[in-house]
């Protein structure tokens, strides 16, 4: 049957071709329309999706639509003091997005486009449509560019494409900031279809496999901000708005879209696999690992898209300068892109304080040293209180154990167990020991530790910041001097702390296992955080030295030695 249909189509086509000259010769021809009308009807506006109604009424077959397509590929470069963006008219998309104020790991100006991922999954400001065939066509066609060559911002550039079925228009406007104005429209057979501008494939600062794990898709509506890590992202999923902004971020940079109409906005999440070298410094094509690269497409689901795009650093001062007037009930800017974590109420002031210190010392490493010293001095009363409480608790531990031995023959449900608790409470009251005295100061200090950890992890300013032998405070110590320092100082702290109530074998295990465990944890942490941690341990050693010279400290050390000798016998 298929062969017969093909034969019929072939014969029909042959008959039409053969009889075409005869029809032209012997049949009467319609008079040609005036030249002016012909021009008007055959060249519709770029924003028009169908021929004018009068022409439709007069004709029985569809009129031809003038195509708008470039004959060759060309590039347009737009620059300001912050970036240099290179467009290609193939797809009307971006091939290079260089941030002039930031360097990559080789010291060259940072190109935010992930080259290997973009070649495979698409370049920034290409278009997403739900029809993959249509999407591929839109992003590979040769558009007509309104300008070419090199331009200085402020500037506009328009890319247009049209054929018999599709009319596309993309307009980009640039000023002196990191924000780009984006307007896109795609009509298929006269009908507007959803076509979202996208940032499809990660960032150029993602080099090693570990750096891809910091990628997230984030969006905000009023006072609510959602952060989706890689495991929660499914490729091709659509999340309906409203959004004030939405996009993809990594640890230090962001590409987010700010819709003019948040209520009609939609976000398409993109997630694709990519093979990357295990060793980014010495890449070997034969030695790779698979990672996931994230991207987003954001636009208007029911009309042409009109929005702004912020592509740049997650620098708090820069983000706070980008107005987002659609936000209600929260600061009307992009500051939420900097994730200070659960303890952000503490971490943000800590960062502002650190930045203020940097403005005086002009080195981020020394700013951390000074801030760490001040924080530890401020927390000193709490630490001393906790250490005193712990020492007192160890002093009464033998008496508490004697009381527990006295009642150990009774079950937990026996009412006489209550008498044991009453005796222990009376003993602690007599000796001035609070059951929460040793824990409460530590609980109060923990938020500061976690807040500092979050702050240093989110601080873009530490990226490629130098201090003594360290070239990048946001990366691990290249010689692991600080992690080794953490291990040694933790070992000394454990050895210096009297532990009279602890079994000697358990004490030896804690004195070794705890420092080793913390040394392993800190081995690949950011050098800035290790600096804070190691300095804090040095201050703790100084505090413990002073405490051990007090009368209470000497008494506890003598008690610990006495018990150790007793255990050996």
Q: What is the pLDDT of residue 486?
A: 87
Q: Which two tokens stand for residue 485?
A: 């320092």
Q: What is the pLDDT of residue 27?
A: 43
The CATH number assigned to the domain with range 75-339 reads 2.70.98.90
Q: What is the pLDDT of residue 509?
A: 67
Could you tell me which residues are beta bridge partners of residue 476?
526
Q: What is the pLDDT of residue 505?
A: 63
Phi-psi group of 403: left, alpha or beta (phi > 0 → left; psi -120 to 50 → alpha; rest → beta): alpha
Could you tell me which residues are beta bridge partners of residue 296?
199, 269
DSSP state of 32: P
Q: Which two tokens stand for residue 125?
A: 């400001």
Long-range contact set of residues 538-543: C-beta below 8 Å, sequence gap at least 24: 538/489, 539/372, 539/373, 539/376, 540/376, 540/383, 540/489, 540/493, 541/489, 541/492, 541/493, 541/496, 543/380, 543/383, 543/384, 543/387
CB 244 within 8 A of CB 326: yes
CATH 2.70.98.90 domain extents, the chain: 75-339
**179: closest CA among 307, 295, 331?**
307
The end-to-end CA distance of the chain, in Å, is: 102
Compute CA distances 2 → 8, 13, 15, 16, whole Å.
10, 17, 20, 21
Q: How many residues appear in the chain? A: 569
Full pLDDT tens readout for the chain, 569 residues? 444 434 444 544 444 444 445 444 444 444 444 333 333 332 233 333 333 333 333 333 344 567 899 999 999 999 999 999 999 999 999 999 999 999 888 888 999 999 989 999 999 999 999 999 999 999 999 999 998 899 999 999 999 999 999 999 999 999 999 999 999 999 999 899 999 999 999 898 877 667 788 899 999 999 999 999 889 998 889 999 899 999 999 989 999 999 999 999 999 999 999 888 877 677 777 777 888 999 999 999 988 999 999 999 999 999 999 999 999 999 999 999 999 888 888 889 999 999 999 999 999 999 999 998 998 888 778 777 776 777 777 777 777 778 778 777 777 777 777 778 788 778 777 777 776 655 665 676 678 778 888 888 888 888 888 999 998 888 888 898 998 988 888 888 777 765 545 555 666 666 677 778 877 888 888 888 889 888 988 988 888 788 778 776 677 677 666 766 666 55
Residue ranges with strand state E in 301-405: 305-313
């Amino acid at each position: 049957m298929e062969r017969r249909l093909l034969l019929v189509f072939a014969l029909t086509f042959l008959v039409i071709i053969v009889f075409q000259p005869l029809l032209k010769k012997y049949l009467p021809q319609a008079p040609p329309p005036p030249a002016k009308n012909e021009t008007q009807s055959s060249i519709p506006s770029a924003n028009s999706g169908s021929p004018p109604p009068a022409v439709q009424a007069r004709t029985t077959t569809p009129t031809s639509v003038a195509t708008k397509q470039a004959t060759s590929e060309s590039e347009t470069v737009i620059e300001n003091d912050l970036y240099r963006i290179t467009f290609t008219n193939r797809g009307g998309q971006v091939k290079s997005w260089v941030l002039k104020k930031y360097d990559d790991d080789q010291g060259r100006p940072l190109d935010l486009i992930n080259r290997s991922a973009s070649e495979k999954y698409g370049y920034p400001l290409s278009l997403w449509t739900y029809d993959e065939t249509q999407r591929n066509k839109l992003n590979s066609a040769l558009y007509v560019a309104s300008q070419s060559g090199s331009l200085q911002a402020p500037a506009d550039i328009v890319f247009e494409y049209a054929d018999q079925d599709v009319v596309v228009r993309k307009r980009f406007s640039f000023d002196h900031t990191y924000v780009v104005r984006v307007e896109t429209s795609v009509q298929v057979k006269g009908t507007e279809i959803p076509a979202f501008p996208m940032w499809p494939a990660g960032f150029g600062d993602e080099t090693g496999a570990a750096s891809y794990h910091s990628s997230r898709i984030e969006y905000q509506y009023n006072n609510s901000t959602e952060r989706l890590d890689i495991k929660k992202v499914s490729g091709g999923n659509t999340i309906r708005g409203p959004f004030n902004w939405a996009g993809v971020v990594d640890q230090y940079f962001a590409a987010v879209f700010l819709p003019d109409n948040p209520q009609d906005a939609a976000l398409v999440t993109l997630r694709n696999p990519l093979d990357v070298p295990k060793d980014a410094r010495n890449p070997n094509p034969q030695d790779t690992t698979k990672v996931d690269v994230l991207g987003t497409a954001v636009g208007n689901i029911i009309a042409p898209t009109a929005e702004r795009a912020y592509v740049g650093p997650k620098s708090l001062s820069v983000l706070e300068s980008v107005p987002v007037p659609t936000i209600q009930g929260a600061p009307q800017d992009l500051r939420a892109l900097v994730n200070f974590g659960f303890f952000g109420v503490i971490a943000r002031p800590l960062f502002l304080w650190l930045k203020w210190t940097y403005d005086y010392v002009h080195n981020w490493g020394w700013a951390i040293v000074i801030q760490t010293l001040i924080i530890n001095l401020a927390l000193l009363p709490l630490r001393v209180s906790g250490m005193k409480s712990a020492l007192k608790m160890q002093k009464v531990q033998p008496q508490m154990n004697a009381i527990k031995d006295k009642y150990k023959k009774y079950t937990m449900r026996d009412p006489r167990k209550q008498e044991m608790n009453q005796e222990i409470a009376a003993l602690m009251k007599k000796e001035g020991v609070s059951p929460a005295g040793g824990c409460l100061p530590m609980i109060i200090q923990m938020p500061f530790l976690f807040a500092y950890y979050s702050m240093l992890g989110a601080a873009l300013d530490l990226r490629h910041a130098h201090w003594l032998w360290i070239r990048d405070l946001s990366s691990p110590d290249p010689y692991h001097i600080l992690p080794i320092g953490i291990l040694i100082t933790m070992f000394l702290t454990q050895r210096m702390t009297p532990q009279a109530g602890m079994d000697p074998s358990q004490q030896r295990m804690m004195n070794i296992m705890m420092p080793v465990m913390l040394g392993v944890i800190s081995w690949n942490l950011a050098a800035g955080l290790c600096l804070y941690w190691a300095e804090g341990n040095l201050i703790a050693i100084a505090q413990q030295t002073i405490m051990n010279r007090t009368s209470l400290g000497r008494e506890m050390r003598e008690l610990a030695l006495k018990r150790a000798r007793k255990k050996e016998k």
